[in-house]
Amino acid sequence: MEHTLDPADWTAFRALAHRMVDDTLDHLASLRDQPAWRPMPEEVRTALSGPLAEPQGATAAYEDFLTYVRPYPNGNLGPRFWGWVQGNGTPLAMMADMLASALNPHMAGFNQAPALVELQVLEWLAELMQMPKGTSGILTSGGTVANLIGLAVARHAKAGFDVRELGLQGHAQPLLTVYCSTEAHGWARRAVELLGLGNAALRRIRVDGDFRMNVDELRDAVARDRRDGHRPICVIASAGTVNTGAIDDLPAIADLCREEDVWFHVDGAFGALAMLSPNLRSRVAGVERADSLAFDLHKWGYLPFEVGCALVRDAEAHRAAFELKGSYISALDRGVIAGGLPLAERGLELTRGFKALKVWLSLKAHGAEAIATLIDQNVAQAEYLARRIKAEENLELAAPLALNIVCFRHRGSDALNREILMRLQEEGVAVPSGTTIDGRFALRVAITNHRSRLEDFDVLVDAVKRIGAQ
Amino acid sequence: MEHTLDPADWTAFRALAHRMVDDTLDHLASLRDQPAWRPMPEEVRTALSGPLAEPQGATAAYEDFLTYVRPYPNGNLGPRFWGWVQGNGTPLAMMADMLASALNPHMAGFNQAPALVELQVLEWLAELMQMPKGTSGILTSGGTVANLIGLAVARHAKAGFDVRELGLQGHAQPLLTVYCSTEAHGWARRAVELLGLGNAALRRIRVDGDFRMNVDELRDAVARDRRDGHRPICVIASAGTVNTGAIDDLPAIADLCREEDVWFHVDGAFGALAMLSPNLRSRVAGVERADSLAFDLHKWGYLPFEVGCALVRDAEAHRAAFELKGSYISALDRGVIAGGLPLAERGLELTRGFKALKVWLSLKAHGAEAIATLIDQNVAQAEYLARRIKAEENLELAAPLALNIVCFRHRGSDALNREILMRLQEEGVAVPSGTTIDGRFALRVAITNHRSRLEDFDVLVDAVKRIGAQ
């Protein structure tokens, strides 16, 4: 008699699975009554440390999850979470993740429907971003890898030699240089480090008063590098910086890149999603001109982690950067491997999960317009919050409002503002995060939350005033 | 009145969610009655192409999934799938993925229970791999990224200069060289390309008759590179090659690496899991000596995609290679960000999903011994299949059986064997894959399947004989 990890008793397992669904939906439907965050008691830390004990069965393990894990997450499910830039997830996408895990297809490609689902989703996303038909792409774990893929394609396309074969080691080649603003996200540094370009080859261009890259300085930097014998390969523009939501002058940077024959990469982690809204599209105009574009569906697309996307205008350049050479997998013209592994030739992984299903089901069920409506709503909420802050004597905006991120301070020291932030979280009122703007600490409210209501921002402002006055 | 992506009618959504669970469990409980794989009709291809239509609601979208997607995956759920190296997934882990998606924590770190769950899982895995306490690690999308992380740490630790800051560009530095066998998986090439080392810096050492790296040739290659002024930084050993399951002489390679001050990386994608079995552990002895070790839980751990793991013996070296510098995220000593983002300083991503939950729940519920029992069972099945093949006049083994991969041929041409493979799949009998061994095509049965029974291998052998005779 063989062993298996399937349930010995399917009926009992079915009952447990239904209980998990009920518990979870009860939890999600009652988020508004739960604290925005709560600290972990010491007993939780104790329970979640130590060696593996004897097997306890599925029900007891699940009950440990209910006791020790579910009550103590970082908080992004709730209506008053605006920390960093995190989406909530949705109930439908959660069930899609269950279906994806159950079907468990290997998403390198293969002659199967799930691969077609991802290809279809990528076409939809390219269309929503107004990129041309034939644009290539890949779903990723998130923005960092999507951006890394864009930069890897840029490196391969613009190096001027076979960078995959030769690497960057010890050649009498010019230095390959990359450009971003001082407000660009930390992924840019990680990407140039990983790719062997090195942090020293990443030129950080200063920003203007609106935290947008100074395009004249960018032009000068490119020219200076050329004069010094270097080879500028890529400019990274931001559609929504992480600190303030600033949007670089994408059309001007796109023009410059075309003139200079430099790759135009856009990091649109959350901001690119504004392309879905007719009301906001003009603010991110130029996204559609990207040679490569990275964005997340798990931020302003409201889907659960993980799902980001890289789109690459030149499909051949995309494939050339990741094509499998000398692979052990030889395609046949019939059967499971017919058609090869095209999705493994667009990014890092050979083995990939079915992230595409939650995007596919959500877009089919809700439509892109439902997401656009919520993006509009979040921007309107940011404007409302900014108005409330301006109207308060003891509060001030710390940066111009560009899209959906409101940075503000209580009048007083950095220490006071830090204390306000920590108390907001510890009391379970709300979860903004903190950042440093012009050398001073500020509270940062990044609104990518489909559960927030206007009243939630009143709760925030009132609590900040109350704590500030104490 | 605000919009949201939560259901307008929670009761109706709950009914749909329960239906999804019932449908899915019915599907999983009846896998043995379904074909091992089936080709997609043209109408499926048509339905899964074309632009985004009007929103159809969750139920209709789900029904499209049932009609067009679920019947046509690549087949790895079923009991007679032995293609490439793919796990089945388990019902419990599928529900864990639902719970993870529902809770949706941001797994960069943060002051939250889900981060403790991942840290605990990493400790358990290090212990199962018999690596020392204090070993660092990170869960990844799979083997490619886990291996890439190992190699990135090796590059940083052994370059002899600040590779993150300076990159590999144009220095008067020695060439950094990396070593693997000719049977190593294609990730190694992708990793050296991505890291800017270049394919030319990857030395491919020949294998012996058992497809194991020739350690004398490795020693010579390292010495030759040193004589030529290069700097050997890393040897990649395989614990279970993808073609034949061969296990390199890990202790000998570990000794050589120690003598030569070279990083010892082990790719144990599936083979490292044999460490869980007291019966098999001696075959992969030396895994525990790795400076960095990569393996997948979604292969021989039977969990659904995606979950791999990188373990790094020197926690400080691990962190030094990925530490966030100049990050926009400043830690506070209380609240959600207290403790910082340690998991973001161990790999590629800042935003990460809760892959850890399915590992945690599965290990707690089933125990590591249940996995070990199934690994033993798979190895016994491989031995059974090899015996059956040896006993058949028209069949022959194409490589020695090292662990769980059986490569064999029907006597006759490569074309005949290719045809046999495609018919096995098209008829829905079974899904082996194909490979090339010593220049000839072979059928390859990689057994990482908790649903296979001995009788399934009889079905395979009988079908190969029948098709071969036709």
Those residues whose C-beta lies under 8 Å from the C-beta of residue A145, and which sit 6 or more positions away, are: A308, A310, A347, A348, B348, B349
Half-sphere exposure of A90 (CA within 13 A, CB side): 30
B351/A197 touch (CB, cutoff 8 Å), yes or no: no
* 3-class secondary-structure state, position B193: helix
pTM above 0.90, yes or no: yes
Which one-letter DSSP state was computed for residue B129? T
Give me the pLDDT at residue B326, please: 66
Nearest Cα neighbor of B397 from B350, B442, B343 is B442
- Residues of B with CB below 8 A from A28's CB? 6, 102
* 3-class secondary-structure state, position B313: coil
Taking only the tens place, the pLDDT of each residue in B104-136 is: 999 999 999 999 999 999 999 999 999 999 999
Those residues whose C-beta lies under 8 Å from the C-beta of residue B365, and which sit 6 or more positions away, are: A55, A56, A57, A58, A60, A61, A62, B92
Distance from CA of A219 to the nearest CA of B (A): 23
A305/B107 touch (CB, cutoff 8 Å), yes or no: yes
Chain B 15-44, residues with CB within 8 Å of chain A CB atoms: 16-18, 20-22, 24-25, 27-29, 37, 39-40, 44
> What mean pLDDT do residues B340-367 have?
97
Give dist(CA B443, CA B326) in Å, integer: 52
Taking only the tens place, the pLDDT of each residue in B292-311 is: 999 999 999 999 999 999 99
Nearest Cα neighbor of A442 from A463, A468, A421 is A421
**Tens digits of pLDDT across chain A (470 residues):** 899 999 999 999 999 999 999 999 999 999 999 999 999 999 999 999 999 999 999 999 999 999 999 999 999 999 999 999 999 999 999 999 999 999 999 999 999 999 999 999 999 999 999 999 999 999 999 999 999 999 999 999 999 999 999 999 976 689 999 999 999 999 999 999 999 999 999 999 999 999 999 999 999 999 999 999 999 999 999 999 999 999 999 999 999 999 999 999 999 999 999 999 999 999 999 999 999 999 999 999 999 999 999 999 999 999 999 999 865 566 788 999 998 999 999 999 999 999 999 999 999 999 999 999 999 999 999 999 999 999 999 999 999 999 999 999 999 999 999 999 999 999 999 999 999 998 999 999 999 999 999 999 999 999 999 999 98
Is A442 within 8 Å of chain B by CB? Answer: no
With cut-offs at 50, 70 and 90, classify the pLDDT of residue B329.
low
A198/B167 touch (CB, cutoff 8 Å), yes or no: yes
A6/B60 touch (CB, cutoff 8 Å), yes or no: no
B351/A27 touch (CB, cutoff 8 Å), yes or no: no
A450/B6 touch (CB, cutoff 8 Å), yes or no: yes
Give me the pLDDT at residue A331, please: 73
Is B4 within 8 Å of chain A by CB? Answer: yes
- Residues of B with CB below 8 A from A324's CB? 186
Give me the pLDDT at residue A173, please: 80
Nearest Cα neighbor of A163 from A310, A311, A320, A341 is A320
Is B49 within 8 Å of chain A by CB? Answer: yes
Taking only the tens place, the pLDDT of each residue in B408-424 is: 999 999 999 999 999 99
Give me the pLDDT at residue B459, please: 98
B2/A377 touch (CB, cutoff 8 Å), yes or no: yes
Give dist(CA A413, CA A441) in Å, integer: 9
